[in-house]
């Protein structure tokens, strides 16, 4: 059993993409960060983050390393969070491209909704589910980001852009964000995910999900979800070792070498 406040094993899928940044934040929040490169490692963790990167590549590598079915089974019982490309990979439907998807989250996603890499931007977001999410804006970093076109079933919107675009969603134990919390000094979204993992062992998670509803839209108010300490200290690292050799930046395929810069993120 996981004890609230105790260290948990939190996995980050380390096949490709910006997994190092997530790992660094998990460590700063005093939990064990696990680079997940093999399906059997899923048995060792309490929750999983699927990072931003290139969603087609992540999907192909997941097929290659026989991750698809184990990940689907994991999603039935344990929390998963997908950021950017991870959102695409979780979705049941995307607007174009024939690529491998987990198809576990009842959302339809529009890829590259804001254009090319040069159209990347940062904006303040209201996210009622996180601590002080209505009064303290969260810095949303969007890099060739997707948006959610449709939500179905039990999926709920957690946050919107000012034009009404849905950029954060939750369905039971799964959450997905269009933006990159791991590239900021604000750890509130990671803390929210950790609370979902902790609460998963004590029940009542479904009652807390989706309280924001459409109240997350800019300019409106709503009940906040779970609270967590706002961690402001320490900017996450930008590079780290990936696979056998070399530094991985934003992309860095598992088991390969080579240095990539921050602007190398793709969806």
* CATH numbers and ranges of domains, the chain: 9-264 (3.40.50.880)
Q: Look at 86-100, 188-202, 226-240 and tell me which has the smallest mean pLDDT.
A: 226-240
Two tokens at 101? 């998807």
Per-residue pLDDT at 112? 86
Q: Is 93 helix (H, G, I), strand (E, B) or coil?
A: strand
Q: Look at 15-29, 112-126, 131-145, 161-175 and tell me which has the smallest mean pLDDT.
A: 112-126
Output 258 or 196, whichever has higher pLDDT.
Answer: 196
- Flag whether the pTM goes above 0.85: no
Tell me the average pLDDT across 71-84: 97
What's the CA gap between 260 and 21, in Å, rounded? 14
Give the dihedral sign, CA 54/60/62/65: negative
Tell me the average pLDDT across 200-222: 44
What's the CA gap between 29 and 254, in Å, rounded? 25
Per-residue pLDDT at 235? 38
Tell me the average pLDDT across 225-234: 38
Q: Is residue 252 over pLDDT 80? A: no
204 pLDDT tier (thresholds 50, 70, 90):
very low
What's the CA gap between 168 and 176, in Å, rounded? 6
Output 36 or 116, whichever has higher pLDDT.
Answer: 36
Per-residue pLDDT at 211? 39
The string of pLDDT tens digits covering residues 146-155 is: 999 999 999 9
Tell me if 104 sits within 8 A of 169, measured CB to CB: no
Per-residue pLDDT at 98? 82
Averaged confidence pLDDT in the chain: 80
Spell 127-148 as b/e; 16+ CB within 10 A means b: bbbbbebbeeebebbbbbbbbb
Q: Is residue 207 over pLDDT 90? A: no
Q: Is residue 95 over pLDDT 70? A: yes
Per-residue pLDDT at 254? 41
DSSP result, 52-105: SS-HHHHHHHHHHTT-HHHHHHHHHHS-EEEETHHHHHHEEEESS--------E
Q: Is residue 256 over pLDDT 80? A: no
Q: Residue 188 phi/psi, 5° resolution?
A: -65, -35
Per-residue pLDDT at 203? 55
Active site residues: 84, 180, 182
Q: Is residue 157 over pLDDT 90? A: yes
202 pLDDT tier (thresholds 50, 70, 90):
low
């Amino acid at each position: 059993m996981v004890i609230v406040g105790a260290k948990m094993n939190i996995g980050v899928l380390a096949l490709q993409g910006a997994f190092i940044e997530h790992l660094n934040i998990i460590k700063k929040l005093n939990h064990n960060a696990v680079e997940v490169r093999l399906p059997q490692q899923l048995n060792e963790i309490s929750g999983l983050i699927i990072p931003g990167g290139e969603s087609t590549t992540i999907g192909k590598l997941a097929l290659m390393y026989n991750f698809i079915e184990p990940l689907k089974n994991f999603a039935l019982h344990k929390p998963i969070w997908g950021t950017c490309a991870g959102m695409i990979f979780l979705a049941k439907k995307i607007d174009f491209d024939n690529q491998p998807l987990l198809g576990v989250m009842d959302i339809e996603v529009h890829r590259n909704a804001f254009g090319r890499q040069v159209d990347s931007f940062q904006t303040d977001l209201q996210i009622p589910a996180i601590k002080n999410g209505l009064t303290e804006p969260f810095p949303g970093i969007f890099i060739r980001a997707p948006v959610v076109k449709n939500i179905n079933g039990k999926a709920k919107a957690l946050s919107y852009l000012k034009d009404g675009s849905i950029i954060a969603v939750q369905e039971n134990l799964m959450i997905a964000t269009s933006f990159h919390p791991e590239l900021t000094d604000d750890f509130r979204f990671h803390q929210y995910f950790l609370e979902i993992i902790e609460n998963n062992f004590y029940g009542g998670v479904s009652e807390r999900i989706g309280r924001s509803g459409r109240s997350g839209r800019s300019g409106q108010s709503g009940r906040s979800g779970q609270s967590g300490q706002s961690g402001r200290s320490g900017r996450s690292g930008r590079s780290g070792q990936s696979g056998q050799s070399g530094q991985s930046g934003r992309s860095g395929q598992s088991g390969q070498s080579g240095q990539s810069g921050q602007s190398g993120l793709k969806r």
